[in-house]
Amino acid sequence: MKICIIGASGHYWSTLKAVQADPDASVIGVAPGAPGEEMENLVNHPHLGRTTLYDCYTAMLEKEKPDIVVVNSHFYLNGKIAANTVRRGIHTYTEKPMATTLDDLNDLRKAAQENPKVLLLAMQELRYGPAVIAAKQAIDSGVVGEIVQATAQKSYKIGNRPAFYRKQETYGGIIPWIGTHAIDWIHWYTGKRFISGYASQTRIGNRDHGEMESAATAVLALEGSIPATINLDFCRPVEAPTHGDDRIRIIGSKGVVEVKDNTATLITDTAGPVDLEIGPERNVFREIMDTVREKKSGLLLSTGESFYVSEVCLKLRTSAETGAIVDLR
Amino acid sequence: MKICIIGASGHYWSTLKAVQADPDASVIGVAPGAPGEEMENLVNHPHLGRTTLYDCYTAMLEKEKPDIVVVNSHFYLNGKIAANTVRRGIHTYTEKPMATTLDDLNDLRKAAQENPKVLLLAMQELRYGPAVIAAKQAIDSGVVGEIVQATAQKSYKIGNRPAFYRKQETYGGIIPWIGTHAIDWIHWYTGKRFISGYASQTRIGNRDHGEMESAATAVLALEGSIPATINLDFCRPVEAPTHGDDRIRIIGSKGVVEVKDNTATLITDTAGPVDLEIGPERNVFREIMDTVREKKSGLLLSTGESFYVSEVCLKLRTSAETGAIVDLR
């Protein structure tokens, strides 16, 4: 199985790990997706194996004819690149958000509709955290009852981000970039669609990152008027013990499940706090390769949800920019 | 110092504790504020001491002429009762929200303006948690830098609440009842006013509590476009180790402070997580009595903030009911 990677500005790690572990797969080519894109981290990555570095990704695709392409360039280009690769009939695993504008997202959707045999997925791979999966299984088992409220947090250290993060046009905003995960968890856990949303964001304390927002919050009403919130920030202090501080809390009519520090904890009416049993690590790209091979894969992502979550995030960003409620129906 | 208590449906405990510890104070009379109000828990409370139970609170006030009256009846009546006691010139410590309708709140404000020498405060006494105070001191010291985002949670077991909780008209709603604390913490910690808000709420899983909401969430934009959220619920499972699960998280440009489980934790750019030193317990009513005695009290509450927080909550409730953003300027 031949894999190509376009760009090195996102989450190519699960791909490298899965390919390295698979004797029948290799990353045969890599190429930048954006002018001047920094490729060093990928090219020098110890898990990469032997590959060819191309200057131009279209030349690479024509030469290598990959089975799957991984797209993770500067965020504003990912939608356009993915539309290109899908139209070439190549299975595409692309960075989230799938696009940073609704126009690009709609064009990508059109490309996908025109090529229904192409597998197209966004990197909502934070579904694959073992504690995240354990919580999902608990919710699906009915142990928390009917869902009443959902909250999710994404918090990161900002560090020193590349220049393209510092311009809204090339970055896309905090809600599409990290809010996608929070929105995706809530959608996936509840199985419900969003009705309306209202978001607020700021650049205070962004540590000289230009237009990049430091924090955002949003309220979402889900089908059945279930209230949800997300809170996002890039203010995790330098000395915090980990890079990120993801949290999810799902309240049900009979119990509450929370994910934090790679642990899923359940409290119910019949038992006090208990840490849920965590399954083995699963690799999303391994399951994507199996899906392409038409093997049973158990893949947790879907094309429809990939589009849906990106669309909700782009609309929520509009809410934060305009101060108006967005209709998400 | 003569204290009377009207009603027994709210937070009279700090009063009993402070009076019991003060040889110069006594609760000389108690009376229901609402027709048929259950007074047993108060009358039989081991901290109450010798008192007189009246049928009618106005008769009690005329007879006993208290220095301070504590109002905590069925919530829909507290605003009207407090307006009555303030107009009698009696210092009044009243349940939050100060009223369950804007009309009642405005009438109470008028009463307070007409009686500027009367001390009127709402029971925003969750400011007095030792960990809450420790976090406030850390924020005020500047150690977290400029505030970037604020989130607060109130979560309780629902148990089996009295009938007046089960009707919106007599209860007032989840946002005024427990949201006041979350809103108050955010306002107090940030020192900023709210610009706009959007809330969502539900009754799913309210365990046969009629019209009582089980959960709510809200986004608030503070002055300077600082984003905030609150999440409220009465879904804490029966087997949870504590009745409530309060949480506050304040993100700054140089650090993050969190309050949870009566602990305040600080992370900054120069030091990993550290539990803040917690001061001794302080009793709000002790400080109210000292204020009335014109002693130095250090009281953490103010009349203006009491009104402000109640007003924000009533407006946010309207947002949850109508699905529209509320202007909070």
The pLDDT tens digits of the residues spanning A53-97 come to: 999 999 999 999 999 999 999 999 999 999 999 999 999 999 999
CA distance A307 to A287: 19
Interface pTM, i.e. ipTM: 0.94
Q: Closest to B228 (Cβ–Cβ): which among A153, A205, A217?
A: A217
CB contact (8 A) between residue A240 and residue B267: yes
Structure tokens, B92: 């009044």
Q: How far is A94 from chain B (nearest CA, A)?
A: 30
CA distance B113 to B292: 18
Task: State how far the alpha carbon of A213 is from the alpha carbons of A127, A236, B149, B244, B281, in Å.
Answer: 24, 13, 11, 33, 39
Q: Domains in chain A, please, with CATH? A: 2-123 (3.40.50.720), 127-280+301-327 (3.30.360.10)
Residue A275: the pLDDT is 98
Where b means 16+ CB within 10 Å and e means fewer, B25-50 reads: bbbbbbbbbbeebbbeebeebeebee
Q: How far is A226 from chain B (nearest CA, A)?
A: 6
Mean of the pLDDT values across residues A129-152? Answer: 98
Residue entry with tokens 């190429």? A31
Its sign, for the CA torsion B184, B190, B193, B195, is negative
Q: In order along chain B (329 residues), what is the average pLDDT of each group of 10 residues?
A: 98 97 98 97 95 98 98 98 98 98 98 98 97 98 98 98 97 98 98 97 97 97 95 97 97 98 97 96 97 93 98 98 96
Residue A6: the pLDDT is 98
For chain A, first and last CA: distance in Å?
A: 40
CB contact (8 A) between residue A233 and residue B217: no
Residue A229: how many other CB atoms lie within 10 Å? 26
CB contact (8 A) between residue A224 and residue B237: no
CA distance A196 to A184: 15
Query: Which chain B residue has the Cα nearest residue A327?
Result: B323
pLDDT in tens, A1-31: 999 999 999 999 999 999 999 999 999 999 9
Residue B115: the pLDDT is 98
Kindly list the residues from chain A whose CB atom is less than 8 angstroms away from the CB atom of residue B235.
148-149, 251-253, 256
Query: What is the per-residue DSSP string for B84-121?
Result: HHHHTT-EEEEPSSS-SSHHHHHHHHHHHHH-TTS-EE
CA distance A80 to A19: 25
Residue B296: the pLDDT is 87
CB contact (8 A) between residue A273 and residue B149: no
Tell whether the model's pLDDT for residue A296 goes beyond 90.
no
Structure tokens, B222: 């503070």
Mean of the pLDDT values across residues A315-326? Answer: 97
Residue pair B67/B24 in contact (Cβ under 8 Å)? The answer is no
Query: Which chain B residue has the Cα nearest residue A158?
Result: B253
